[in-house]
């Protein structure tokens, strides 16, 4: 069997993505003693065969044409051998990524109510249990429990993992868990039928990789509004009302994807889905009735991390309000050398255990090396997703202004993160928890900005009330002797 020319097929770009993913050691984050909780997710990639291909055991009634035998499906093959198969390299074969839509709350929530993760678009996965052997085992177990797919079978290969992430709440002040994303590829043209746990999962979606890869149409970007008052005062309704009117809402950028479920849970009505749940992953365009998934937050961040390895990904992926400029692969596909196994992971500290020490050292070191960076070296390193694409803005402009004023350290971290991608890859750079430092410094700026905004609002209200009181007092003749 002769494989197609690498530059001719979508599978070639996918292979380049996997090679790039394996070329760098994964950054692992140690859990701080105060929060040992961890979780894992599975990013599952499949190659949907061209419609004109027919496989043994799945022939249409009366079919008399060519059939691809079971031995040529690719089950049990290693990655390099699987990617050489003719059906994989067919020009109409489509790489796709699996997403799940989590279930809505059992009862209809009041407007603005907050239900963490409810109806969000996500990857299958969940919390690590005490008897789980490893983070990898957690990803396997949770995927099996949620959607009934056994990633330990020969039809799937673990091809790598993304850098671990810190999941926080209370505007980045409290650590919820450390998240480990694992990447799998399906090595069979016929996908197993998911069996959904209806209490947790509403539907499964296979999204073409092309829809997740730049350039993006501006019409495919939107935003999700989150009521920040529920994070600051989850119980007191009056305080929430005051905060909502004083500081507005947070706006997270989101990518709009077609809502075309491959499988839905029993008794799930996609047209009766409650889109009023805060942060809902579903949205209907009232103008034409078209339905979309809203990919945002943590899942969007992991997706951008994965897509940053794609050969066509620009150096900075689109963030809200930015213009996107496409770029060509910096390294020809034919120049990639097979990476048979991922590099040894590098362990780093959580920002909740070592808040700024690593970042301070990195800032000083990178400033010294800035002049040594060359354009040629810049083009030779892999690109990363733009972290600002998943950080929120606020509906009130003055809040955004104060965030910018207080975000000097955040901008320094981003600059050093960018500089770490210039020149030869160094182990010291991989030991720095860049995403965690960016998250911590950004939300520190947010908290400071909100305090200043509330003080200014309070002073304004106080001055206004004093002025009104003075005018009323004067109108009533209080100034006459």
379 pLDDT band (50/70/90 cuts)? very low
Please indicate, yes or no, if residue 182 is contained in any of the structural domains.
Answer: yes
Across 419-448, average pLDDT? 72
Is residue 385 pLDDT above 70, yes or no?
A: no
| Domain around 146 | 6-346
Output the pLDDT for position 374.
42
pLDDT classification of 433: cutoffs 50, 70, 90: confident
Give the per-residue pLDDT at 46.
Answer: 96
466 pLDDT more than 50: yes
- Cα–Cα distance list, 281 to 274, 296, 478 (Å): 10, 8, 59
What confidence score (pLDDT) does residue 479 get?
53
| pLDDT confidence tier of residue 360, bands split at 50, 70 and 90 | low
* Domain count within the chain: 1
User: Can you give the pLDDT at residue 286?
Assistant: 77
Average pLDDT, the chain: 79
- Asked if residue 161 belongs to a domain, the reply is yes
Cβ atoms within 10 Å, residue 7:
11
Q: Which of 67-76, 263-272, 438-447 has the lowest mean pLDDT?
A: 263-272
Contact 355, 433 (CB under 8 A): no
Distance between CA atoms of residues 158 and 175, nearest Å? 28
Question: How much is the pLDDT for 420?
Answer: 67
pLDDT digits (tens, 9 = 90+) for 193-241: 999 988 889 999 999 999 998 777 888 888 888 888 777 766 778 888 8
Does residue 36 sit within a domain? yes
Tokens standing for 142? 């949770």
> Looking at residue 178, what is its pLDDT?
94
pLDDT score at 387: 53
Average pLDDT over residues 414-436: 66
When pLDDT is cut at 50, 70 and 90, the band that residue 443 belongs to is confident
pLDDT given for residue 426 in this prediction: 58
**Is residue 415 one of the residues assigned to a domain?**
no
Residue 323: per-residue pLDDT: 35
Confirm whether 328 is domain-assigned. yes
- % of the chain residues with pLDDT over 70: 74
- Tokens 């291909």 locate to 53
Position 64 scores a pLDDT of 82
Q: Does a structural domain hold residue 436?
A: no
Per-residue pLDDT band for 478 (boundaries 50, 70, 90) equals low
CATH number at residue 170: 3.90.79.10
Average pLDDT over residues 2-8: 48
Whole-model pTM: value is 0.80
Mean pLDDT of 114-138: 86
pLDDT tens digits along 71-106: 999 998 999 999 999 999 999 999 999 999 998 765
pLDDT of residue 110: 46
- pLDDT confidence band for 272 (50 / 70 / 90): low
pLDDT of 373 over the 60 cut: no
In this prediction, residue 325 has a pLDDT band, given cuts at 50, 70 and 90, of very low
Q: How confident is the model at residue 417 (pLDDT cuts 50, 70, 90)?
A: confident
Backbone angles phi, psi at 329, to 5 degrees: -55, 135
- For residue 286, tell me if it sits in a domain: yes
Look at residue 127 and tell me whether its pLDDT is greater than 60.
Answer: yes
Residue 172, domain member (yes or no): yes
Task: Tell me the mean pLDDT in the region 128-136.
Answer: 93
* Residue 442 reports pLDDT greater than 80: yes
- What does the pLDDT read at residue 282? 82
Q: Of 177-191, 278-292, 336-350, 431-445, which range is least confident?
A: 336-350
Among 8-17, 240-249, 313-322, 449-458, where is mean pLDDT lowest? 313-322
């Amino acid at each position: 069997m002769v494989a197609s020319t690498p530059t001719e097929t979508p599978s070639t770009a996918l292979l380049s993505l996997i090679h790039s993913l394996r070329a760098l050691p994964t950054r692992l984050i140690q859990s701080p003693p105060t929060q040992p909780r961890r979780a894992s997710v599975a990013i599952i990639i499949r190659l949907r065969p061209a419609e004109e291909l027919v496989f043994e055991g799945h022939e249409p009634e009366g079919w008399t044409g060519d059939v691809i035998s079971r031995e040529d499906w690719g089950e049990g093959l290693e990655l390099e051998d699987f990617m050489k198969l003719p059906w994989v390299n067919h020009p109409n074969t489509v790489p796709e990524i699996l997403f799940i839509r989590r279930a809505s709350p059992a009862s209809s929530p009041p407007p603005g109510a907050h239900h963490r993760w409810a109806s969000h678009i996500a990857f299958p996965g969940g919390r690590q249990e005490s008897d789980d052997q490893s983070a990898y085992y957690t990803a396997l177990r949770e995927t099996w429990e949620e959607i009934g797919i056994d990633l330990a079978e020969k039809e799937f290969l673990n091809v790598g993992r993304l850098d671990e992430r810190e999941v926080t709440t209370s505007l980045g002040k409290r650590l919820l868990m450390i998240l480990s994303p694992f990447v799998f590829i399906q090595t069979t043209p016929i996908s197993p039928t998911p069996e959904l746990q209806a209490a947790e999962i509403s539907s499964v979606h296979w999204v073409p990789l092309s829809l997740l890869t730049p350039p993006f149409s501006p019409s495919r970007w939107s935003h999700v509004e989150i009521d920040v008052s529920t994070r600051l005062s989850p119980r007191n309704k009056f305080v929430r009302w005051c905060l909502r009117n004083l500081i507005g809402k947070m706006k997270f950028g989101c990518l709009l994807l077609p809502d075309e479920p491959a499988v839905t849970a029993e008794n799930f009505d996609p047209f009766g889905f409650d889109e009023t749940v805060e942060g809902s992953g579903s949205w209907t365009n009232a103008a034409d009735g078209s339905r979309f998934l809203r990919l945002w937050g943590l899942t969007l961040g992991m997706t951008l991390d994965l897509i940053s390895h794609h050969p066509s990904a620009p150096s900075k992926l689109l963030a809200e309000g930015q213009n996107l400029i496409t770029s060509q692969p910096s390294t020809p596909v034919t120049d990639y050398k097979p990476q048979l196994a991922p590099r040894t992971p590098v362990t780093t500290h959580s920002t909740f255990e070592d808040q700024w020490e690593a970042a301070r050292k990195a800032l000083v070191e990178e400033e010294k090396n800035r002049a040594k960076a060359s354009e040629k070296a810049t083009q030779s390193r892999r690109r990363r997703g733009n972290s600002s694409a998943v950080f929120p803005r606020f509906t009130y402009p003055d809040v955004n202004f104060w965030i910018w004023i207080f975000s000097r350290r955040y901008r320094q971290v981003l600059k050093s993160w960018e500089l770490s991608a210039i020149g030869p890859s160094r182990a010291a750079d991989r030991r720095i928890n860049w995403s965690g430092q960016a998250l911590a410094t950004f939300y520190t700026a947010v908290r400071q900005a909100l305090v200043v905004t509330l003080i200014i609002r309070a002073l304004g209200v106080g001055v206004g009330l004093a002025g009104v009181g003075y005018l009323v007092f004067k109108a009533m003749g209080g100034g006459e002797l």
